[in-house]
Chains A and B, each alone.
Chain A
């Protein structure tokens, strides 16, 4: 073979390898999803969603866990969104470019890489014990807020940075204050990106089990929480608990609960994509 055909062969080989890499993850996901759907889809019914936990697999439902997940999602959202968005805005719009800012930035990026179980221990010590919130939904939500805060901060900063300087200058040159410029121009222009980051961060929070086990979420809670200070369970913990039982009936329950959890996260991702596209259509430079 001459030089050119060797190069062309390499070109082809690289492409095939790239295709393999691309489809490897997707293929594995498809196998897994197919497996749980086949196992669990028959078990999904209205009763399965509305029943309380039970020691008989065919009577057990995910109601308390689903409600716990909803509570966690709601509380985490109202805690983490304002904190993360305003922290991101501050860092990008007001923060000076100096050594302190650089250290702050590196640390926020580092926070995003800390294993979630460490956040669980932090939450257990600070929220459950020192603040005396106990094994409550609020403790869980505060812990998960810490966990996703770095994700929201980073995605807010990136969206805000993408707003062209000319837009800010136009507003400032008309005599707007910095805050007015942020409120009327920067936030609307970066809203799509911020929202996408927020929803992806929340869907990460929905799937977390480890930090919640550490702060004391229970696998068996007979009632859905009715205040932020009640004990709770969430879907991933319910799944973990069922999947580790020896009875086949609970394994099927676990598969069904996984399907429900996947639907919740896919829905959230879908909403994120929808908003991003809608926002992008509205704003073009």
Chain B
């Protein structure tokens, strides 16, 4: 398998605080990688390196390289707007726009000037089908997205993220604000989406990481302690800190 995302000796600072310490990590195409670790360990910060959302934070500074398909995403002629089309993101709390379901899905196309009605209609159906929401909303596409349940809203956010046909989808604790049934649906969805997208999921839920991911990275105090197949991490971790964390002895 080809390496989709490569991070080489990455350090991140917020002003003087050193939050990511010399992390190198390679993620395969069409795989699901889980980032686990206690709160404040830097896993969300690391996730946000891939679509440069950290750039918005004042005092953010990065050293080292982050490559997508072999190309540095922090290079000067890389426009973040183009990068974020290729690397979609789903947030912890569902954050649909206060607009219709339809308008939510096509937002990524609208802002790029796509107005072809047929193309937009097709995109809405494809994205909603892929995010397993189509059957529930197909008759109410003009309804406000805020009228949906939390789980539906989160699947809408996934549909919105994949509508621009990215190759990578970042998910920052996508199921943590949802009930168990909605959460299970999101997990199923991640499994389905893997054939077309490379997915990175940050999660606090060990069982979830174990169920959905192919590889798992354990972060602790800004360091990457261990990165391996999920099976290895959960059955036979090399580092005692990983062992302690996944068995719930700390964190």
Within 8 A of A (CB), among B149-188: 157, 160-161, 164
Within 8 A of A (CB), among B111-168: 111-112, 146, 157, 160-161, 164
Name the residue of chain A whose CB is nearest to the CB of B53. A173
Q: CA of A80 to CA of B56 in the docked complex: distance in angstroms?
A: 30
Task: Tell me whether A172 is interfacial, beta carbon within 8 Å.
Answer: yes
Interchain CB contact under 8 A, B97 and A171 = yes
**Which among B80, B81, B98 is the interface contact of A283 at CB below 8 angstroms?**
B98
Known: A167-B97, A284-B146. A173 touches B58 (CB 8 A): no
Interchain CB contact under 8 A, A176 and B111 = yes
Q: CA of A284 to CA of B146 in the docked complex: distance in angstroms?
A: 8
B84: chain A residues at CB < 8 Å are: 172-175
Task: Tell me whether B9 is interfacial, beta carbon within 8 Å.
Answer: no
Q: CA of A180 to CA of B110 in the docked complex: distance in angstroms?
A: 10
Within 8 A of B (CB), among A177-220: 177, 180, 184-185, 188-189
User: What 0/1 readout, one digit per residue, does chain B (2-21) give for beta carbons within 8 Å of chain A?
Assistant: 00000000000000000000
Known: A97-B58, A284-B146. A173 touches B97 (CB 8 A): no
Interchain CB contact under 8 A, B56 and A172 = yes
B111: chain A residues at CB < 8 Å are: 171, 174-177, 180, 184
B146: chain A residues at CB < 8 Å are: 284
| Of listed B53, B58, B85, B97, residue having the most chain A CB within 10 A | B97
Interchain CB contact under 8 A, A176 and B81 = yes
Q: CA of A188 to CA of B80 in the docked complex: distance in angstroms?
A: 24
Task: Tell me whether B77 is interfacial, beta carbon within 8 Å.
Answer: no
Interchain CB contact under 8 A, B85 and A173 = no
**How distant is B117 from chain A, measured CB to nearest CB, in Å?**
19
User: What 0/1 readout, one digit per residue, does chain B (204-243) give for beta carbons within 8 Å of chain A?
Assistant: 0000000000000000000000000000000000000000
B83: chain A residues at CB < 8 Å are: 175
Name the residue of chain A whose CB is nearest to the CB of B157. A170
Interface size on B, residues (CB 8 A): 27
Name the residue of chain B whose CB is nearest to the CB of A168. B56
Q: CA of A228 to CA of B98 in the docked complex: distance in angstroms?
A: 41
**Which among A169, A184, A185, A188 is the interface contact of B53 at CB below 8 angstroms?**
A169
Interchain CB contact under 8 A, A170 and B95 = yes
Q: CA of A13 to CA of B199 in the docked complex: distance in angstroms?
A: 64
Known: A96-B58, A169-B53. A175 touches B93 (CB 8 A): no
**How distant is B100 from chain A, measured CB to nearest CB, in Å?**
12
Known: A96-B58, A185-B97. A173 touches B51 (CB 8 A): yes
Task: Tell me whether A166 is interfacial, beta carbon within 8 Å.
Answer: yes
Interchain CB contact under 8 A, A174 and B56 = no
Known: A169-B53, A284-B146. A175 touches B95 (CB 8 A): no
Interchain CB contact under 8 A, B108 and A170 = no
Q: CA of A96 to CA of B56 in the docked complex: distance in angstroms?
A: 11
Interchain CB contact under 8 A, B91 and A174 = no
B191: chain A residues at CB < 8 Å are: none
Task: Tell me whether A55 is interfacial, beta carbon within 8 Å.
Answer: no
**How distant is A173 from chain B, measured CB to nearest CB, in Å?**
4
Interchain CB contact under 8 A, A173 and B164 = no
B85: chain A residues at CB < 8 Å are: 174-175
Interchain CB contact under 8 A, A171 and B107 = yes
Interchain CB contact under 8 A, B95 and A167 = yes
Within 8 A of A (CB), among B35-56: 51, 53, 56
Known: A97-B58, A174-B88. A166 touches B98 (CB 8 A): no
**How distant is B159 from chain A, measured CB to nearest CB, in Å?**
12
B89: chain A residues at CB < 8 Å are: 173
A174: chain B residues at CB < 8 Å are: 84-85, 88, 107-108, 111, 160-161, 164
Q: What are 28 A-B pairs at a CB distance below 8 A? A: A166-B93, A166-B95, A169-B53, A170-B91, A170-B95, A170-B160, A171-B97, A171-B111, A172-B53, A173-B51, A173-B53, A173-B91, A173-B161, A174-B88, A174-B107, A174-B108, A174-B111, A174-B160, A174-B161, A175-B84, A175-B85, A175-B111, A177-B81, A177-B111, A184-B107, A184-B111, A188-B98, A284-B146
A interface residues with partner B (beta carbon < 8 Å): 96-97, 164, 166-167, 169-177, 180, 184-185, 188-189, 282-284
B interface residues with partner A (beta carbon < 8 Å): 51, 53, 56, 58, 80-85, 88-89, 91, 93, 95-98, 107-108, 111-112, 146, 157, 160-161, 164
Beyond A166-B91, A169-B95, A175-B84, 10 additional pairs, beta carbon < 8 A = A166-B93, A169-B53, A170-B157, A170-B160, A171-B111, A174-B88, A175-B85, A175-B112, A283-B98, A284-B146
